[in-house]
A and B are shown apart, each in its own frame.
Chain A
Amino acid sequence: MKTAAERQCRRLLEQLSRYIDGDLTAVERKAVAAHLRRCPCCRTMADSLKHTVELCHEAGAARLPADVTRRARARIASLLASDRSGRSRT
């Protein structure tokens, strides 16, 4: 049988993503924050989930490899050049 504390932690886990995203009502947010203050286990969970999300954000900010960027630029240049020459013929 689950204890009341376990049930609270389970409910908190379900709300964690919305908490991280700032997607909770003020009342819900306060309740989650209060639980996190007194429950080290959920605090660890919240921190590590937040870290996972941040890691994904960093992946989106990563620079592309130089050779990939070079090829991308060359593709743009050749597209624009062929379009210009196509248009000047007509």
Chain B
Amino acid sequence: MPATVTKQAHANPGVSRAGSRDTDYAALLRAAQAGNQAAMERLLMKSQEIAYRFSLLVCGHADDADDAMQEALLKTYRHAAQIKDPGAFRTWLYRTVKNACLISRRRRVGEPARLHSLDGDSLSLDGVSQPLELEDPGRRPDQVLENTRLRRALDRALLSLPPESRLIVFLREVEGLSTRDVAAVVGISEANVKTRLHRARLSLRERLEAP
């Protein structure tokens, strides 16, 4: 079991750093499979964090987030022990979260789409709580404000993309998956991921630049 994972997990049991980018999921899974409780708790927290961001940024319905988080938590807990190839865990997790979010959407299929509530300054994608805070305590207040404005603009720009492009941008840019892993989660070729990603970036940029 890699020493770094054990150390981090014990130093900060159950508490995970925000974001997915720097997490070594394979190492975390191996530790959890070996009976490391703190690693299992971190894994369960990670899967819920991913489900939350997915609900917010891909589905655009943060009030489904609790359902999606619960589903991702249970699936991760039930299946973590059976996964033979820890290297494949990350793509499994994103596929699972994708399905969990789709399931929680289907339960509310009779409801009208809530995208129209995204206009105006009272925008709260979450509906119930504040937008994601930037983990950057070192920044000056005016920068923080500017970033909050930009983040909201980004949330809005993301939701204006076609669903599959949004999913690709989410996996690649927000979550930091390799183009290969994105291709595996979405079920398209890597070349296709790159082309769509480029188009999506251009249209995101255009929307962010627009006054």
Contact = CB atoms under 8 A, between A and B. Distances in A.
Interface of A: 13-14, 16-18, 23, 48-49, 51-53, 55-65, 67-68, 71-73, 75-76, 79-80, 83
Interface stretch (B4-12, B17-25, B82-90, B91-99): B17-25
Interface stretch (B100-108, B109-117, B181-189, B196-204): B196-204
Given A52-B204, A72-B48, A59 B174 contact: yes
Interface string B113-149: 0000000000000100110111110000000000100
Given A17-B194, A55-B151, A71-B66, A63 B208 contact: no
Given A60-B20, A72-B48, A17 B132 contact: no
Top-3 shortest CB links A-B:
A62-B132, A56-B173, A17-B198
A58 B69 contact: no
A46 B74 CA distance: 43
A76 B69 CA distance: 11
In this complex, the interface size class of chain B, counting residues with CB under 8 Å from chain A, is: 35 or more
A56 B154 contact: yes
B57 interface: yes
B73 interface: yes
A49 B20 contact: no
Q: Specify which of A23, A48, A49, A72 lies most central, judged by the most chain B CB atoms within 10 Å of its CB.
A: A72
Given A17-B194, A64-B132, A79 B173 contact: no
Nearest to A57: B173
Interface of B: 14, 18-21, 41, 44-45, 48-49, 52-53, 57, 65-66, 69-70, 73-74, 77, 126, 129-130, 132-136, 147, 150-151, 154-155, 169, 173-176, 194, 197-198, 201-202, 204-205, 208-209
A62 B126 CA distance: 14
Q: Which secondary structure dominates where chain A touches chain B? A: helix
A29 to B, nearest CB: 16
21 contacts: A17-B197, A18-B198, A48-B208, A49-B202, A52-B204, A55-B208, A56-B154, A58-B134, A59-B57, A59-B154, A59-B155, A60-B20, A61-B19, A61-B135, A62-B132, A64-B18, A64-B132, A65-B129, A68-B129, A71-B69, A73-B14
B171 to A, nearest CB: 10
B44 A79 contact: yes
B19 A52 contact: no
Contacts of A76: 14, 41, 44-45, 48, 73
